[in-house]
A and B are shown apart, each in its own frame.
Chain A
Amino acid sequence: MESARTGVPKELQRKDDGVLQNLNTALLVVDASARITSSNPPAEQILGESAAALADEPVSRWFAEGGGIELIARTLRDGERFRAVESFVTRRDGTRVPIGISWAPVVDSTGERCGAVATFQDLTGLKQLQSQVVQTEKMASIGQLAAGVAHEINNPMGFIHANLFQMAEYVTDLRRVWTGVDALRKAVGQGHAGEILDASQQLSTLIDEADVDFVLSDLSKAIRESQEGSERIRHIVQDLRDFSHHDTNERVLADVNQCLDSTASIVWPMMKHLVKLEKDYEVLPSVWGFPMQLKQVFMNLLVNAYQAIEEKVSESGGMGTIQLVTRAVEGGVSIHVTDSGNGIAGDVLDRIFDPFFTTKKVGAGTGLGLSTSYSIVKRHGGRFEVSSEEGGGATFGLFLPMGDEDEVVDPD
């Protein structure tokens, strides 16, 4: 629809030449006061309105949440351009549609800024795909852990299994002693001194043969140890189950220390034979975000750190160290994972965040760990840094802002 108002510069008027109307990309044009002067069908579909309902409306009605207003204001006021910023549209019924949006100022024939134009896409499908990729990568990293986890379960399984077998033997031994007790009781009931004496001697023999004192004390010990073993297995399974959970799409307040520590406790058993883990946690403010995704980032960093140490130790022997340091810093929290592994060569360092780039041997990595971690940190509005020297270990540091519930993530 043509804007009802007069005086709308022709630069802002709706183009009915069919090109914009048939464009697959959503398009909105606003005037200097951020009122909609023009829209096309994809925009109308994303906003959930007819062209008539959009015309002349303040665009803030749909872009009020998620930082969209800020972009419009900066475009209109300062002539700034924004490209492919992730945000969302809030429809009149309150539903949110994730979008990627670009804003550019519109200049009239005299060179004056007279409005702004936005192109945007519905990212719902992409978001779903993204969360699938994140989940797939997470399952792949669990796959890599599987051998370590199996080992951790097989150890307690080993002694529980053996103990059960022995405990069954002990019960057989004790049952044999019990037949002696029973015989003695019957003899006492009958009251013949000779038989009582016989039965009593018989019982002593049985007790000696069965080594009852030892059996009784070792039976309790075997039960205690097996209980502890089954508790350990229960923990491992529980941790894994927690780790494989999905996040919801809503941001929640995340306890970063807890995310880091629970992830460390999952990977610790697989690395404890090679690694000394040093934890230095500070009390941290909660950050808005996706805790399961943060755990995945930490998992990737820990597994990488461990593999770097494994490589180094296989040459030089001994043990390695992984340090986990968390700090409350201005505006958020910082996490540093430092390993004493074999480090990262300079030419590799430039590529470690590239998707499918890996230096690991076939089957040991997907090449997606760090690139997924990188996008997760970006999604939190955070920063990733890495420093390393070949042969001299590596430090991965990340900063996560406190954020808020509806934070917009600017990918640049």
Chain B
Amino acid sequence: MVLVVDDEVRILSALQRTLRREGYELLTAETVEQAFGILAERDVDVVMSDHKMPGMTGLQFLAQAAMQRPTARRMIITGWTEEIPEEELRRIGVCALITKPWEDWKLKATLRRALG
């Protein structure tokens, strides 16, 4: 089960479209509050988050998500071209960084790998 968090609803819609036939359940959240709600109820395997979001960065969100679901794999998907420091990514245990616009096959492969 994969949870995607992005304040851009069109991105969520495109991801649903892309991953429709990938054979796992895809949950989406437009806000971090929504995402925390989902994490509380569902046993999510992968959390993939946008970085630039209102009120909280993707890294901050993933750090908190890690406390709620420590076993879930964490990923960032971002259109932000500025580099996110490597050590930050390591510290929060982000296993993949996907840039927008993404390559379909790469995204699918990365998610498959994360889901083991």
Contacts and interface: CB of A to CB of B under 8 A. Distances in A.
Interface of A: 147, 150-163, 165-166, 218, 221-222, 225, 228-229, 272-274, 317-319
B67 to A, nearest CB: 16
B104 interface: yes
Tell me what chain A mostly uses at the interface: helix, strand, loop, or mixed: helix
A162 B54 contact: no
Given A147-B80, A154-B101, A163 B55 contact: no
14 contacts: A154-B101, A155-B11, A157-B100, A158-B14, A160-B101, A162-B15, A162-B18, A162-B101, A162-B102, A162-B104, A166-B18, A218-B17, A228-B10, A272-B54
B82 A159 contact: no
A224 to B, nearest CB: 10
Nearest to B98: A158
A274 B54 contact: yes
A185 B79 CA distance: 48
A150 B81 contact: yes
B53 interface: yes
Interface residues of B, number: 23
B81 A151 contact: yes
Nearest to A156: B10
A318 B17 contact: no
Given A151-B52, A154-B100, A165-B104, A159 B8 contact: yes
B54 A159 contact: no
Contact of B55 (A152, A154, A319): A319
B37 to A, nearest CB: 19
B56 interface: yes
B7 interface: yes
A162 B79 contact: no
